Structure formats: structure tokens, C-alpha cells
Amino acid sequence: MCYPVKCAECAKTTWAGDGQHIEMVRSNVEAGQWCPGHAKTEKPQTRLFARFFSSSKQAEARAGERVA
């Protein structure tokens, strides 16, 4: 079942659920208040955990990259 939720980016209404009842949710929302969707932006990956869980050879290689 689908239900309305607030979009985290634009605060307009979008949906959550199984995807089979989206039109039912949309029918109860004014067209101007429906979220148009947003392109996904990839968040930069940090190497914090890589530093803790990598082998010493990998750590040495990374250290060499920073020195160069």
C-alpha cells in the first residue's frame, strides 16, 4: 500500500510504499503540491573507514599518493 510523505528536498508531497497505489495517493494531492522528483546526487565517499580497515600495504600506497 502507498501513502503520502513529505519530500526531504522540496517539502512537497511524494509517496512511499510498494509502488502499486501511487495514483491513489496522487489523486488526493493538488498538482502544484506534488514533488516533481529530483536527480540523485552522489555523496562524496570518505575514506575514514578505509583507513581503519585496510591492510598496511594499502595504507602505505595511500600515504605515497599524498606525498607525491
Q: Which helix (H) or strand (E) holds 60?
A: helix 56-67
Among 15, 35, 13, 12, residue whose Cα is nearest residue 23: 15
Domain interval for residue 31: 1-36
Say if 31 falls within a structural domain: yes
Find out whether 18 and 1 touch, Cβ atoms under 8 Å.
Answer: yes
Say if 59 falls within a structural domain: no
Model pTM above 0.75? no
Q: What is the mean pLDDT of each run of 10 residues along the chain (68 residues)?
A: 94 95 94 91 67 59 56
The predicted structure's pLDDT at residue 43? 66
The predicted structure's pLDDT at residue 39? 87
The predicted structure's pLDDT at residue 35? 95
The predicted structure's pLDDT at residue 58? 56
Tally of structural domains, the chain = 1
